[in-house]
Structure 1
């Protein structure tokens, strides 16, 4: 009985401190890039079916990444990881470059005209341009 109570307490504690962000996500590009983007095109970019931009991802451990995977690509992080594993194994694709922080994404995108990334809309700076917002 005590083990059951401890297990329930651990589960409740984990849920209370889980990093769910529910942020408004800004898809960003270099300000010199005049391209427009639809949600479908975003999905194609982050699944390797388009190379119109150099896609930049946050690291797997980032809560914003899993939220982007769901809102922006329409797949869970596990589904996308499996998708990319197949493409890499067959030599048919290279997954997006991963950067550690949102500041790193902004810095990279601001310096590369063909790069596309995403950050929490609260973190957008003048160094980048928002071309799509995901709620």
Structure 2
């Protein structure tokens, strides 16, 4: 009986892990920019470098202002998992080290996709990752993980 319970618990755990990994691998986001940013496309490496603080300017020369969503259980976790294969705890540690050494600041945090879109539409150098179904004419897609 004990072995049967153990097997059942193991199967439930594996099913959950598989579901969790499927969520992490979701490419339902796009990276957006202001239409007047001077950039039409960004490579995956360019997006990563801006979000990880390695590049402080966009290719057009405008100061980059990356925007992070505060929702750590969905979009944010998915973005960092797909883009840099890191968990949010690893991203937090990364930024803690950079901030402590005075080498950078993490992306601006916003609480909603709508707020991210609003900021991107009003700030030339802002970029954000958002659900592809929620974008509108105020912004343009500069990176699509499904097309990279």
TM-score, length of structure 2 as denominator length: 0.75
Retained in 2: the 8 A contact 1:24–1:121? yes
Residues 126 and 62 of structure 1: CA distance in aligned 2, closer, same or farther (over 3 Å)? farther
What is the root-mean-square deviation in Å for CA atoms of aligned residues?
A: 2.5
Partner of 2:104: 93
Alignment of 1:116 with 2:120, yes or no, is no
Structure 2 stretches lacking a partner, 5+ long = 58-63
Residues 123 and 62 of structure 1: CA distance in aligned 2, closer, same or farther (over 3 Å)? farther
Q: Tell me how far 1:24 sits from its aligned partner.
A: 2.0
Retained in 1: the 8 A contact 2:110–2:116? yes
Partner of 1:79: 90
Q: Which of these two proteins has the greater Rg computed from alpha carbons?
A: 2
Mapped to 2, the partners of 1:91 and 1:79 lie a distance apart of 18
Partner of 2:48: 43
Alignment of 1:54 with 2:54, yes or no, is no
What's the CA shift string for 1:15-54, capped at 9, x where partnerless? 7997x37242110001112214111111111111111111
Structure 1 stretches lacking a partner, 5+ long = none
Count of residues in correspondence between the two structures: 134
Mapped to 1, the partners of 2:125 and 2:106 lie a distance apart of 16
Mapped to 1, the partners of 2:18 and 2:50 lie a distance apart of 34
Retained in 2: the 8 A contact 1:29–1:110? yes
